[in-house]
Amino acid sequence: MATYNIAVLAGDGTGPEIMTEAVKVLGAVEKVYDIKFNFEHALIGGCAYDEFKTPLPESTLKLALSSDATLLGAVGDWKYDTLPPEVRPEKALLGIRKGMGLFANLRPAIVLEELVNSSPLKPEIVSGVDIMIIRELVGDVYFGEPRGIEVKDGKKIGFNNMIYTEDEIKRIATVAFETAMKRSKKLCSVDKANVLDVSRLWREIMIETAKEYPEVELTHMYVDNAAMQIIRAPKQFDTIVTGNIFGDILSDEASMLAGSLGLLPSASLSNDKKLAMYEPIHGSAPDLKGKNVVNPIATILSAGMMLKYSFDMDSAYNLIETATKKVLQAGYRTQDIMSDGCKLVGTSEMGTLIANEILNK
């Protein structure tokens, strides 16, 4: 029987609640397929700081590096807001991404037909949207040096460095073109090449890489225009590739096409998918902690992406996606996607409904 070791990093806030549901659904997948998951839990974020005085203990990174895949819930809580920046929970997220070399972040924004009415946008605009945002995850202004806050001539200045090397752009370009080849062969590279030198290099390397993929139609869009077009006419996009900070912003924006941040999964991959981490794109929502109200679907679908990308179990991914759609078709909703005439359920009920749907398939 195939056995996979999964590092489970539930994190802070509502992270543990949504992770429980993802593990529940994977338990159902185990029963349907001849497969075994060994889940090993470790601390990350604020809870790790409480225990070890660091948000990313070495033992956690080691576990992630030695597992077949890593599942992450979410990190952060207001009670850590006053901590120095180097030990804040977010630092752990950036640290584990960097430590595992997860440069390619895949963030699909798919509008499920069952939920077209959950989006704040008109149904005819969002119905049928299926975008794959590929965000570079370990470079850009997030990691660029020099950085800091200094005093010059008696005044404080804050600065970060938006920087990409040719090689960093090339490897994310390759992932993007490969992904576009498996989709509708349309790739839109988002940059700010009218202003930023780093974006001019970005564009140059994208154009160069396009020569290796003559079948892919490459277009370029400035990030401000892309932010507008994603709302105005999202169906014009298929695969989008962009840098770390633009991808951070555009993926939150794209989640609103689907109706809720609680629906969007993500995969973060290293070279050749050797290492991978799967997490919902949303945060830890500490205000909702312990209330059994958050939507576990983004985390459940992230577990689905793990089956697809790390273990090549496309059919198991489809099984999870279909089960989720069926539960939504039956009218069950968590509060973030609730609409008239639907049945309101909590986090754990939603997980159980999806798991049961898988078992009864």
Would you name the residues annotated as active-site residues?
142, 192, 224, 248, 252
Query: How crowded is the C-beta side of 299, counted as CA atoms within 13 Å?
Result: 32
Kindly state whether residue 201 participates in binding ligand IPM, applying the rule CB under 6 A: no
Kindly state whether residue 248 participates in binding Mg ion, applying the rule CB under 5 A: yes
Alpha helices in the chain (DSSP H): 15-32, 46-52, 58-66, 89-100, 123-126, 166-182, 197-210, 223-232, 244-258, 297-309, 314-329, 347-359
Q: Residue count at the site for Mg ion (CB under 5 A)?
A: 1
Answer yes or no: are the C-beta atoms of 294 and 18 closer than 8 Å: yes
Burial, 312: exposed, middle or buried (Cβ in 10 Å; 0-12, 13-18, 19+)?
exposed
In sequence order, which residues have a C-beta less than 8 Å from that of residue 293 and are 6 or more positions away? 334, 335, 346, 347
Q: Which is nearer to Mg ion, 74 or 303 (CB)?
A: 74
Q: Which is nearer to ligand IPM, 245 or 338 (CB)?
A: 245
Q: Which is nearer to Mg ion, 246 or 317 (CB)?
A: 246
Picked from ligand IPM, Mg ion, none, the partner binding residue 90 (CB below 5 to 8 A depending on kind) is ligand IPM
> Cα–Cα distance between 134 and 169 in angstroms, integer?
12
Q: Residue count at the site for ligand IPM (CB under 6 A)?
A: 5
Kindly state whether residue 40 participates in binding ligand IPM, applying the rule CB under 6 A: no
Q: Which is nearer to ligand IPM, 296 or 327 (CB)?
A: 296
Nearest to 169 by CA among 216, 208, 223: 208
Kindly state whether residue 9 participates in binding ligand IPM, applying the rule CB under 6 A: no
> Cα–Cα distance between 73 and 61 in angstroms, integer?
15
Partner residues linked to 277 by β-bridges: 70, 268
> For ligand IPM, which residue of 21, 248, 336, 357 counts as binding (CB under 6 A)?
248
Kindly state whether residue 253 participates in binding ligand IPM, applying the rule CB under 6 A: no
Kindly state whether residue 21 participates in binding Mg ion, applying the rule CB under 5 A: no
> For ligand IPM, which residue of 40, 50, 68, 90 counts as binding (CB under 6 A)?
90
Kindly state whether residue 281 participates in binding ligand IPM, applying the rule CB under 6 A: yes
Q: Which is nearer to Mg ion, 140 or 248 (CB)?
A: 248
> Pairing relation of β-strands 104-110 and 130-136?
antiparallel
> For ligand IPM, which residue of 8, 64, 93, 261 counts as binding (CB under 6 A)?
93
Picked from ligand IPM, Mg ion, none, the partner binding residue 68 (CB below 5 to 8 A depending on kind) is none
104 to 35, 109, 173, 236, 248: CA distances (angstroms): 27, 16, 10, 23, 13
Picked from ligand IPM, Mg ion, none, the partner binding residue 71 (CB below 5 to 8 A depending on kind) is none
Rg value, the chain, Cα: 20
* Contact set with ligand IPM (CB under 6 A): 90, 93, 248, 281, 283
